[in-house]
């Protein structure tokens, strides 16, 4: 065998032209075999699908849906399909109400060609491009929810997010910003002005500078335009000057919650107030701040068209927050001139620094900066991340540092303090699951958690003690107080920053307070991860910090810090 191989090799070495000819023929034959197997292969079908009625679409009929681009795969069983339908609602339903997700199993090159064709068909069915529109940060063209992603934004992602929330329009701007709305409140401009590519999709256009590429979402069912995510705010006394507090009023003899919410959503107002047989729409303002809730029994009058819902009375209103985004506090910019002071937003990791930055940016209209650089935060809209922390263009600087030299570099500081039990768990989740993710069960049960508590618990105490000792002009804000009384605590923070903010803007912040960095809370641990020894050590640190705060005539730690 070896002798034969040697003769074969020597033959081609003497005749290199024959060798290359043989190689070309071999590759050509292989390519033909591959193409033949791809194009003549047929999709695999079960016996139940083999009949013409069940498995072959009639002429002109819609081909079976092969899965959503966002999911990247087909669904294998009806159970999985139904769970996706529950997650995404009517957006994933067919025109006849059946699940699009009940799919066959397709393979080969024929399958890839078919998928490409169906993707194009579904894109046309999902949304229709209607043009390039002017957008203004002071008066948005689409006034529903919005979100940013400066790395992975695509047309589909924007459309999917808006459709999931029941909006009629989706618009993309600056290649990375997505806006939703129920109507367009802007003028159409030349298509040439929408000239920015999508950050996450080459070859696609995602608006321009202050220009929106707008799509009308072709929702599969009219019922998808329900506003079921309206948030109940409570029962409130009728404001003194009703026409100024709630400028839109409509009589509704057959009142229901849905009807009033639908009206206010269509009129682009974030508040819907039900008053018996009248529906009022407006914004939270100093005339109607929604701070003093009344006993819900005062509003307990049944809706005429909805037996099990309360629709308020002429004196006491039932108030819901619609999906319309309050844009009075959404504009943000860098400082026009370099700031004369560097203000730190200091906190132990996991104490809510990102959330506090979100609130400060909404309240002041100015970007916050960071001592570090976090690409994921920049991609989500925190544009101050890329600025050097000494640039002077941002309103304050996020920092977790606790050394004397680092602290003394700042002229003033907002020190955010959180319950160490909650802060440690939040930082552990961030470390192993990302900003809004969760650590895996194995991390909690493994060696990672005890080691993390051993290293980070002392830092929680020394961080606060160092800032109290070395910081200049330190304002202490407890995370728990900020959650409970945002209006007052945020007002204190803004005052330290030297920015005059109208109360109406702070009320706007209250309605947008969660932002995009709030964990869902759906994956809370079913057990307490803190052992008795851990609790003993942490309680000692809490007492140490409490004493330090009181020693400076400040409010001590909130009562819920201990005992556990």
First to last CA, the chain: 80
pLDDT tens sequence across 53-96: 333 334 333 333 333 333 332 333 333 333 333 223 333 334 34
Identify whether the C-beta of residue 111 lies closer than 8 Å to the C-beta of residue 74.
no
Tokens standing for residue 196: 């920015």
**To 5 degrees, how large is the angle CA 100–CA 54–CA 75?**
30
Tokens standing for residue 171: 């618009």
Element (H, E) at 330: none
Strands 397-399, 369-370: pairing kind: parallel
Q: Which CATH code fits 343-561?
A: 3.40.50.300
Measured in degrees and rounded to the nearest 5, phi and psi for residue 357 equal -60, -45
Between residues 309 and 95, which one has the greater pLDDT? 309
Over 48-81, what HEC string results?
Answer: HHCCHHHHCCCCCCCCCCCCCCCCCCCCCCHHHH
In the block, tokens 């005429």 appear at 304
**Domains of the chain: which residue ranges?**
125-217, 226-321, 343-561
Tokens standing for residue 28: 């050509």
Q: Judging by beta carbons within 10 Å of its beta carbon (0-12, 13-18, 19+), is residue 43 exposed, middle or buried?
A: middle
pLDDT tens sequence across 101-145: 333 333 444 343 344 444 444 444 578 899 999 998 878 888 877
pLDDT tens sequence across 414-471: 999 999 999 999 899 888 887 667 888 888 989 999 999 999 999 999 999 999 999 9
Strands 474-478, 412-417: pairing kind: parallel
d(C-alpha 541, C-alpha 418), whole Å: 13
Between residues 524 and 210, which one has the greater pLDDT? 210
Measured in degrees and rounded to the nearest 5, phi and psi for residue 308 equal -105, 15
């Amino acid at each position: 065998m070896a002798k034969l191989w040697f003769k074969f090799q020597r033959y081609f070495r003497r005749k290199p032209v024959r060798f290359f000819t043989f190689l070309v023929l071999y590759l050509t034959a292989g390519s033909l075999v591959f193409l033949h197997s791809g194009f003549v292969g047929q999709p695999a079908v079960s016996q139940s699908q083999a009949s013409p009625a069940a498995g072959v679409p009639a002429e002109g009929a819609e081909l079976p849906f092969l899965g959503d681009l966002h999911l990247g795969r087909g669904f294998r069983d009806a159970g999985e399909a139904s769970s996706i339908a529950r997650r995404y609602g009517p957006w994933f339903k067919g025109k006849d109400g059946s699940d699009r997700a009940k799919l066959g199993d397709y393979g080969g090159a024929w399958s890839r060609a078919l998928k490409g064709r169906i993707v194009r068909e579904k894109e046309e069915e999902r949304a229709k491009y209607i043009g390039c529109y002017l957008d203004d940060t002071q008066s948005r063209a689409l006034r529903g929810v919005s979100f940013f992603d400066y790395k992975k934004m695509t047309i589909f992602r924007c459309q999917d997010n808006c459709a999931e929330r029941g909006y009629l329009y989706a618009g993309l701007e600056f290649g990375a910003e997505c806006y939703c709305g129920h109507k367009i409140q802007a003028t159409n401009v030349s298509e040439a002005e929408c000239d920015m590519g999508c950050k996450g999709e080459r070859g696609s256009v995602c608006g321009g500078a202050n220009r929106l590429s707008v799509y009308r979402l072709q929702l599969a069912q009219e019922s998808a335009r329900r506003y079921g995510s309206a948030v109940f705010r409570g029962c409130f006394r009728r404001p003194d000057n009703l026409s100024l507090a709630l400028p839109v009023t409509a009589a509704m003899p057959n009142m229901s919650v849905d009807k009033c919410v639908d009206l206010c959503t269509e009129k682009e107002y974030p508040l819907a107030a039900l008053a018996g047989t009248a529906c009022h729409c407006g914004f939270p303002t100093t005339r109607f701040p929604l701070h003093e809730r009344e006993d819900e029994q005062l509003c307990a009058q049944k809706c005429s068209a909805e037996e099990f819902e309360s629709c308020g009375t002429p004196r006491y209103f039932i108030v819901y927050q619609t999906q319309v985004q309050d844009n009075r506090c959404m504009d943000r910019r860098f400082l026009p001139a370099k700031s004369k002071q560097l203000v730190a937003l200091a906190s132990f990791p996991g104490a809510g620094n990102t959330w506090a930055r979100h609130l400060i940016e909404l309240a002041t209209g100015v970007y916050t900066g960071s001592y570090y650089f976090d690409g994921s935060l920049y991609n989500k809209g925190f544009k101050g991340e890329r600025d050097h922390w000494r640039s002077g263009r941002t309103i304050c600087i996020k920092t977790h540092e606790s050394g004397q030299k680092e602290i003394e570099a700042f002229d003033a500081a907002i020190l955010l303090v959180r319950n160490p039990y909650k802060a440690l768990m939040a930082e552990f989740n961030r470390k192993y699951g990302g900003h809004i993710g969760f650590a895996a069960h194995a991390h909690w049960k493994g060696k990672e958690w005890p080691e993390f508590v051993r290293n980070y618990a002392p830092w929680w105490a020394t961080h606060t003690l160092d800032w109290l000792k070395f910081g200049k002009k330190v304002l202490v804000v407890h995370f728990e107080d900020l959650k409970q009384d945002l209006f007052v605590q945020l007002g204190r923070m803004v005052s330290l920053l030297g920015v005059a903010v109208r109360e109406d803007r702070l009320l706007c912040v209250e309605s947008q307070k969660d932002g995009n960095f709030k964990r869902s809370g759906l994956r809370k641990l079913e057990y307490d991860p803190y052992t008795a020894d851990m609790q003993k050590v942490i309680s000692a640190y809490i007492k140490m910090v409490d004493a330090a705060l009181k020693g400076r005539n400040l409010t001590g730690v909130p009562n819920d810090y201990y005992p556990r």
